Amino acid sequence: MKKGYALVSTWDKSGIEKIASALAEAGYSILSTGGTKKYLEEHGITVTSVESVTGFPEILNGRVKTLHPFIHGGLLMDRENPNHIKQMKEKNIRPIDFLICNLYPFKKVLEAEEKETSSFSMDNTPLLERLIENIDIGGVALLRAASKNFNSVTVVSDPADYGWITEKIKKNETPTKREKLKLAVKAFKQTSNYDSIIFSALERFTGSNEMDNSSVHEIPDKLNLELEKLFIPRYGENPHQKAAVYAEISSSAGSLAPPRQHGLLGMKQLQGKQLSYNNILDSQTAADLASSFDAPAAVLVKHQIPCGAAAGDNMRAVFIRALAGDPVSPFGGIFAFNRPVDESLAQEIAGLFFEVLLAPEITPPAMEILSKKKNLRILTGDIKAVSGWEFRTSGPLFLMQEADRLEDNVELNYVTERTPDKEELADLLFAYNVSRMVKSNGIVLAKSLATAGIGSGQPNRVAALETALRGKEKTEKAPDEFVLASDGFFPFGDTVTLAAQSGCTAIIQPGGSIRDQESIDEANKHSIAMVFTGRRHFRH
């Protein structure tokens, strides 16, 4: 006995022959168009063309195929509405009981185009036209119509559902009402995501709401995110916490990450277990800081806090100085380098326990050495693949801000009688950069382009300095003299007093306190050079 129609209209045709064959054997008439019809017929399935039902051929190079009352009437007919049944009989429209449909691959086309060009402007007419031609109209309309009428129509938009639905058909069963609703929800989700990707991509051509524009007026009223689950780590921050890792898969105007990048996961992992939740957080801090230095640099991070950093010429020597600043805390932490890791550096770090190594490249001899550390996660590639925006949650609220980047040319205001000499100035700028990544209140002590002590996350700035000084005393060959960087201004002169008593020769800080003069006077009293930057770097 012939049943209603089963409409099959897909771009991705893999696997449709099995479900279509089951439907045909169950008594449904298979209805299709163009390439899908040809594909099914090649697999021995009898297919009725849409145009033979509608009496109207495809037009506009295939832009209009299924947009017809005979098709949408068959999908939207309420089987329990007498008026609907009467009209369908009068118009000789048969019901469509199944819809198997997926859409033009707009996202894949977009991703391919992004690899070839970064110019999304109205002047790039060929690119705009290619994207427009990959916008599915009929498929979206079919999915929405069938999903609205899920009581009567089984809508299948995900190939992952072909298997269990095929088995039901073979048993002469139809999906339950609950199953049909789940399928409809999945289809609505697909069309929603599809539309989001399209409008976000096309909006880039208009030049509006570009998130790489730092003006606060360009922050959109609505932030549209499409996130894809990449993997589930064993647990979150602690073993009792479930966790997951997501990344944006759309290039929206409200995008938090550059197109085509999955941040750290866009790097190549050469060995080691899957990154953990905490590995990702710590590694991002290390990558952000290491990539911010122009000179060769080594950064050691634990619990999202730098515990050692240095810059210089020879990477092995740089690492030794970074580790000397705190030889204890990096145990089990993250090592990041902004230059290739060679054999001599690999030999230096091979005897230490750390969880992740990040570098642009590992030379073959170095890799041979490090490969013996089976549990070490090694990632190579662009460590500068970071977002221009940061996204956090606070209870039910979502917070977004520009990432805190070090300005290219720091405008320095020399406020004391003595100005820093060349070596002091270099150390000040080095420490100032590191201080951006230290939890506030943060203090960084440095000497010869290497950290000598770090005070992080303290409730007041004197406590932060005391923590940094305790760390300095535990370092190998603790320097008698050092420079100091503070992520925020000094509310009183007491921090300068303590710094002077401990060997500080120069200070860099934002300034801006109503008691700035108190700190300046204290610095002059001890011949300390003090520099204001006019920009604080709190990190909560």
Is the omega angle on the peptide bond into residue 441 within 30 degrees of 0, that is, cis?
A: yes
- pTM score: 0.71
Q: Where are the domains of the chain?
A: 5-205, 264-380, 413-532
Q: Which of 73-77, 114-118, 388-392 has the lowest mean pLDDT?
A: 114-118
Q: What is the pLDDT of residue 218?
A: 62
- Residue 405 predicted with pLDDT over 50: yes
Give the pLDDT mean for 28-49: 86
- Residue 2 predicted with pLDDT over 70: no
Q: What is the pLDDT of residue 122?
A: 66
The CA distance from 410 to 412, in Å, is: 6
- Residue 33 predicted with pLDDT over 90: no
- Of the listed 13, 148, 182, 273, which one is catalytic? 148
Q: What is the pLDDT of residue 303?
A: 92
- Of the listed 3, 182, 303, 526, which one is catalytic? 303
Q: List pLDDT tens digits, range 170-226.
A: 988 888 899 999 999 999 988 888 887 887 777 777 765 444 444 444 666 767 677
Q: What is the pLDDT of residue 207?
A: 63
8 Å CB contact between 143 and 190: yes
Domain spanning 264-380: which superfamily? AICAR transformylase, duplication domain (3.40.140.20)
Q: What is the pLDDT of residue 174?
A: 86
Confidence grade of residue 357 (pLDDT, cut at 50, 70, 90): very high
Q: Which of 282-286, 313-317, 393-397 has the lowest mean pLDDT?
A: 393-397
Question: Tokens in use for 126?
Answer: 């060929």
Q: What is the pLDDT of residue 156?
A: 92
The CA distance from 311 to 327, in Å, is: 17
5-205 and 264-380 share one fold = no
Please count the other Cβ atoms lying within 10 Å of the Cβ belonging to residue 42: 9
Which residue carries 């750390």 as its tokens?
A: 354
Q: What is the pLDDT of residue 390?
A: 79
Report residue 525: phi and psi, to 5°.
-60, -30
- Residue 269 predicted with pLDDT over 60: yes
CATH number belonging to the domain at 5-205, selected among 3.40.190.10, 3.30.420.40, 3.40.50.1380, 3.40.50.720? 3.40.50.1380
8 Å CB contact between 536 and 510: yes
- Residue 486 predicted with pLDDT over 50: yes
Q: List pLDDT tens digits, range 300-322.
A: 999 999 999 999 999 999 999 99
Q: What is the pLDDT of residue 252?
A: 43
240 has catalytic annotation: no
The CA distance from 169 to 174, in Å, is: 6
Domain 413-532 class in CATH: alpha beta
Q: Which of 45-49, 236-240, 482-486 has the lowest mean pLDDT?
A: 45-49
Which residue carries 């604080």 as its tokens?
A: 536
217 has catalytic annotation: no
